Structure 1
């Protein structure tokens, strides 16, 4: 029996290692989004500063570990055997859940996940015990339900308070600073002093609370005299920063952002480390109690867990090292941070979230409200606000820096960190259930809104993204509870066999999510608009066009081949795969159109013809994807509805038509890549021959109809495919023709 629980303990610590990795990958958004988005330093520098904050903060985390032991359930009502299974269920669920969120780049709260996993597993064990002896009415004695309600209220409170405060503060900060960096210098020491004072206060009351060098009396003194302390600190910081600027011309806002990043990272580690290793440590404490008691595990009550148990500093330090290394190497951490930064960037770009009715309604109504308020402001005030919120200096900086341009400036980054720090510090003092994740994310969104980052071209997508993230927080709570509940039941009745099966499933799911994330990252890098640092020359444009045409033609040929093969074999799985493939092709075509349009301002004035060609080719590719949809989707629906398969001669005719389309695409690609005039002539001839072949295929189908060999649905599908093949051929020839007119006939061939 001892071996069994020793195995469980070992598994708990292995899962703790995994949980540290997936947990910090998600929570990195809390303290990195402002610094990364404003490019306050290189990514390595930012990660190094955050890693140092995490390492120091971890050593202050000992007092928080009791949350996992007694914060959600009452351990005196559970037996040792019950709690070990409960802890195991929680850790398996946590690794799976957080890794899934990381894979899709969605920030969530690790606190919410572990709290509701503990709640779900505790309820499961309590229910099982009630059915096997104790009454159902006694379940309330097992659970600390107030904690769960506090978490839910914390979500709602954070969304409203943090978002509103961030928006209001940033509005007045921007009105004072404007987007012109030259104006910042006048008030940078004063603003920097206020920021540094607020962050310092936050660092004391939140980050260092519970440390060995700070007694309870000191914390109480700081809390009782916070106003004069902050005021004196602000004056002192303003003087220090003013001297730094006068003597060394230091970038004061960059210093503030780096300091704020360190402070938030330190507070995160001090408060959230319990989410990752608190449960395994509680399991370790339980195991120690059981070994010392020499009692049957099914008879040992765990009331000793309710007391204070110190956490070894070495374990805390090792956890800090793992978290720091994860920040440095984790690609998923960058994905989650990127989601947050993209939702708050100052300029337009690729929007990963689609709009939906509710977000459109919000944007529309707030737009009307803004117009109503604006109409009632004095003209002088409107002109002043317009001047202060004029983004042209920032846009000029963006254009000059190219790929190295920040997503937003240091003014917004500093106010984001300050407002987050102040709100979390106030919440800590008032014992409000504010979540670090929720506060930092919603403050960041609020400052983005106030800064005008959500313009009419992007607002609906940004609002959809914010609503999706908020919905994900509630989904985290529900799914964490459900998964842990089910896993606890399975482990309780399945024993060791169930444990190994569940661990194997967890490993498979993490591996699968790693594959999915790698694929999504590759697609993002391929599809997302590249921010060009230099001017686009004619040769670069033609190179981009050739690459886009080649990639599109290859995808179309693959999808059409899959579709015809699916029709020939009446294979629903293959037809569904082709339809999913089309959806990816559609995304690529849309991104290409956006990329072509956005690239126009980077093209030389004397290269208008090349720019014209870029736009036309992007439009033609977009039209061709619609044609592919009109082939792939009806084919999928035909098979999915179990209609009669096409006749062998029909399949042969479609394959013949597809073969000719593929030949035309290859010829067109030769025209684009090498400007081969012979390939162009052959392509035009192939088009004429292809039209004749299609005419013959239609006549053959008419004969089959007259002979009653095929039905109506068969004929509609077949005629549709012939017509769409003809449309594809037309667009292939159009692409070649505009290339001939705009490139091959202008006397300036493309360089090799």
Structure 2
């Protein structure tokens, strides 16, 4: 029996390494979003500072097993074999949940996940124990106070962080405006002093408390004299920053943001490290207690586990190294960070989230309230506020930077970090269970709202995104508790076989998310390749034509492949490959949707003398989108028909369809070559060929109608057959219009060059 528990301890530590990776990927948003969003420095510099903060925080962490020690469950009522099942269920669940959230780019709380996993797994074991021992009920084994505190912390942190973020950013922008460079000459030192002092206080409260390298006497003195430290810090930083600005034009905001990034990264590693390695360490400690006692597993109660558990220094350093490496290499971390940045960016653009009834209702209500309030505000005050929040000059400067443009300015980034630092530090000093993820995210959303980043063009999408993320936090708690409960219950009943099966299941789930991530990366790379690069915020019409030609030829090639494959897989009743066609056509739709969504930015960046050619570009993209839409209405109905196990076409119908497919293939190949070579001399002949194919389609329709009249074809198959013919005809019509628009586009560019 000892061997299986040794294996479990080994698995726990392997899972701890994996948990460190997925945990950092998830929590990187806490300390990276402000610096990256404001492009305050190069990506490598930001990561270097964050990595240093992570390593220092991890290395000097107290390593206390907070969650396991302070009582989600009462360990004195659990046997050794039961406690090991609880810990294994927790770690397996944690890996699955965090990895899934990271894969889809949604930030969640590692604290909440670990607490509710412990709660769910402990309840699963406690339910079985209560059946065996009716004298004790489930509530005796569980301390629900911690879970209730976490839930209240979620609600508290969401509301307070968002509100404080809105108010602070509004006041800050009212003072500095978007053209803050001139005002920094006089107020920069004071703002920097307040910001760095707040960050210093944050480091004292969050860092000194648990740092092992600081003696107890220093820790006590700093804690008792926090007011003096803060006062001197404010005076010192205000004076030194103002002097540096006057003498060397020192970038106060950049220094503030980078310092805040280091502080939050250090606090994250120092405090959240136990979320990743705490449970495996508790498992190791349990195994040591078991070995030392010599008692059988069926009688050994784990009352010794209620004490403090400290971590070896080398384990903390090793954990820090893993976290740093993950921070540098994790693509999932960048995706989670991007979600937060996109929801808070100052400008419009492609929105990741859609609209929802809840978001629309909030926006309508907010507009009505705003209009009512404006009636009571004097015109002079309204005009003053509008001037302070006028971002037109900022937008002009931002456009000139092109791809290097920040999502928001450095002033807002500094407010994000300062407000988050103060709230987290205050909550810690008051022993309130606020989550760093919730605080940093909601502060960022509050500051973006105050900065009028959520205009009427984007508000519904941003609100939907925020609600989706918040909903994900609550989903984390429910999912974590439920899955951990199920895993612990299965292991209690299934024994060693169940343990092995669940470990393999977790490994398979992680593997699947990696596959999904790689597919997403390919999709993102494809989207990036479709974008048109600008120079100093401008794009030449020739560059638009070149990229347009490349994108169209690729999409027509995919169109040809998907149309032919769909009909052949349908004839072979190959459901698996037809489903792949559905996924590919969805990807094709996203690509054309991306092109259409980027029309505004492309036309806006066109050089002044190239605006006329933008008309042809818009026409080309519109026809391309409609062509792909027609293909979608061929592929998806074919799959749904086959998926519902309906009969496929008859031999006569397939014979007609295959003849049609050959003609379509020929026309698409000629279209592809025409686009590739930019030679449209044979376009009239191609248009004639298109007309002939449409006549063939009409003939096929007549034959099908005769079959229906003679009742030789069923309803489902007849509707699908006619639908395929109709959408094929639409596809041809849009395709020829696309070629004509591209011809006119090429002609306009040539005339301009001449």
Short-chain TM bin: over 0.9
Give the equivalent residue in structure 1 for 2:156: 157
Say if 2:577 is the partner of 1:581: no
State the shift of 1:229 in Å.
Answer: 3.7
* Mapped partners of 1:36, 1:660: distance in 2: 52
State the shift of 1:105 in Å.
Answer: 0.6
State the shift of 1:216 in Å.
Answer: 5.8
* Mapped partners of 1:15, 1:59: distance in 2: 20
Give the equivalent residue in structure 2 for 1:521: 521
Give the equivalent residue in structure 1 for 2:533: 532
Structure 2 portions without partners, runs of 5+: none
Q: Summarize deviations over 1:281-307 as a string: whole Å, max 9, x none.
A: 111111111111121122111111112
Say if 2:630 is the partner of 1:630: no
* Mapped partners of 1:496, 1:277: distance in 2: 23
Q: Summarize deviations over 1:263-291 as a string: whole Å, max 9, x none.
A: 11111111100000000111111111111
* Mapped partners of 1:206, 1:552: distance in 2: 54
Assess, with a 3 A threshold, how the Cα gap between structure 1 residues 191 and 15 changes in structure 2: closer, same or farther.
same
Residues 54, 320 of structure 2: 8 Å contact kept: yes
State the shift of 1:221 in Å.
Answer: 5.4
Give the equivalent residue in structure 1 for 2:26: 26
State the shift of 1:217 in Å.
Answer: 6.2
Where 1:563 maps in the other structure, the secondary structure is: helix
* Mapped partners of 2:603, 2:64: distance in 1: 55
* Mapped partners of 1:530, 1:180: distance in 2: 30
Give the equivalent residue in structure 1 for 2:167: 168
Where 1:71 maps in the other structure, the secondary structure is: coil
State the shift of 1:384 in Å.
Answer: 1.0
Give the equivalent residue in structure 1 for 2:677: 674
Say if 2:736 is the partner of 1:733: yes
Give the equivalent residue in structure 1 for 2:445: 445
Where 1:309 maps in the other structure, the secondary structure is: coil
Say if 2:196 is the partner of 1:196: yes
Say if 2:614 is the partner of 1:611: yes
* Mapped partners of 2:410, 2:735: distance in 1: 48
Where 1:709 maps in the other structure, the secondary structure is: coil
Q: TM-score, with normalisation over the residues of structure 2?
A: 0.95
Say if 2:593 is the partner of 1:597: no
Assess, with a 3 A threshold, how the Cα gap between structure 1 residues 492 and 748 changes in structure 2: closer, same or farther.
same
Assess, with a 3 A threshold, how the Cα gap between structure 1 residues 655 and 609 changes in structure 2: closer, same or farther.
farther
Give the equivalent residue in structure 2 for 1:458: 458
* Mapped partners of 2:546, 2:750: distance in 1: 18
Q: Would you say how many aligned residue pairs link Structure 1 and Structure 2?
A: 750
Assess, with a 3 A threshold, how the Cα gap between structure 1 residues 705 and 316 changes in structure 2: closer, same or farther.
same
Residues 461-476 of structure 1 aligned to structure 2 (within 5 Å):
461-476=461-476
Q: Summarize deviations over 1:191-233 as a string: whole Å, max 9, x none.
A: 1110001110011001221223545665565555544543332
Residues 613, 739 of structure 1: 8 Å contact kept: yes
Assess, with a 3 A threshold, how the Cα gap between structure 1 residues 571 and 375 changes in structure 2: closer, same or farther.
farther
Q: Summarize deviations over 1:423-458 as a string: whole Å, max 9, x none.
A: 111111111121111111100110111111111111
Residues 85, 492 of structure 2: 8 Å contact kept: yes
Give the equivalent residue in structure 2 for 1:132: 132
Say if 2:549 is the partner of 1:546: yes
| Residue range with higher mean Cα deviation, 352-361 or 204-213 | 204-213
Q: Summarize deviations over 1:678-720 as a string: whole Å, max 9, x none.
A: 5424412311321222232223223323433223443333222
Where 2:309 maps in the other structure, the secondary structure is: coil
Give the equivalent residue in structure 1 for 2:499: 499
* Mapped partners of 1:26, 1:746: distance in 2: 48
Q: Summarize deviations over 1:552-571 as a string: whole Å, max 9, x none.
A: 22333333234323442445
Q: Summarize deviations over 1:491-541 as a string: whole Å, max 9, x none.
A: 223333322222222222111101101211221333368473413223211
| Residue range with higher mean Cα deviation, 121-130 or 51-60 | 51-60
Give the equivalent residue in structure 1 for 2:13: 13
Residues 613, 749 of structure 2: 8 Å contact kept: no
Residues 567, 651 of structure 1: 8 Å contact kept: no
Assess, with a 3 A threshold, how the Cα gap between structure 1 residues 530 and 260 changes in structure 2: closer, same or farther.
farther
Residues 173-572 of structure 1 aligned to structure 2 (within 5 Å):
173-186=172-185, 187-214=187-214, 222=222, 226-527=226-527, 530=531, 532-534=533-535, 535-572=538-575
Residues 244, 250 of structure 1: 8 Å contact kept: yes
* Mapped partners of 2:716, 2:495: distance in 1: 55
State the shift of 1:50 in Å.
Answer: 1.1
| Residue range with higher mean Cα deviation, 470-479 or 621-630 | 621-630
Q: Summarize deviations over 1:127-186 as a string: whole Å, max 9, x none.
A: 121122344x43222111101111111111111100011011001111111111423423
State the shift of 1:624 in Å.
Answer: 1.7
* Mapped partners of 1:726, 1:492: distance in 2: 61
Say if 2:702 is the partner of 1:699: yes
* Mapped partners of 1:386, 1:671: distance in 2: 53
Assess, with a 3 A threshold, how the Cα gap between structure 1 residues 66 and 675 changes in structure 2: closer, same or farther.
closer
State the shift of 1:475 in Å.
Answer: 0.7
Say if 2:39 is the partner of 1:39: yes
* Mapped partners of 2:753, 2:126: distance in 1: 74
Aligned Cα root-mean-square deviation (Å): 2.1
Say if 2:723 is the partner of 1:724: no
| Residue range with higher mean Cα deviation, 741-750 or 444-453 | 741-750
* Mapped partners of 2:326, 2:744: distance in 1: 54
| Residue range with higher mean Cα deviation, 566-575 or 242-251 | 566-575
* Mapped partners of 2:515, 2:445: distance in 1: 30
State the shift of 1:481 in Å.
Answer: 0.8
* Mapped partners of 1:401, 1:144: distance in 2: 55
Assess, with a 3 A threshold, how the Cα gap between structure 1 residues 746 and 289 changes in structure 2: closer, same or farther.
closer
Residues 642-721 of structure 1 aligned to structure 2 (within 5 Å):
642-721=645-724
Assess, with a 3 A threshold, how the Cα gap between structure 1 residues 218 and 746 changes in structure 2: closer, same or farther.
closer
Say if 2:114 is the partner of 1:114: yes
Residues 668, 679 of structure 1: 8 Å contact kept: no
* Mapped partners of 1:637, 1:620: distance in 2: 26
Q: TM-score, with normalisation over the residues of structure 1?
A: 0.95
Q: Summarize deviations over 1:614-665 as a string: whole Å, max 9, x none.
A: 1111111121233223323433443344444221221222232233223222
Give the equivalent residue in structure 1 for 2:746: 743
Give the equivalent residue in structure 1 for 2:140: 141
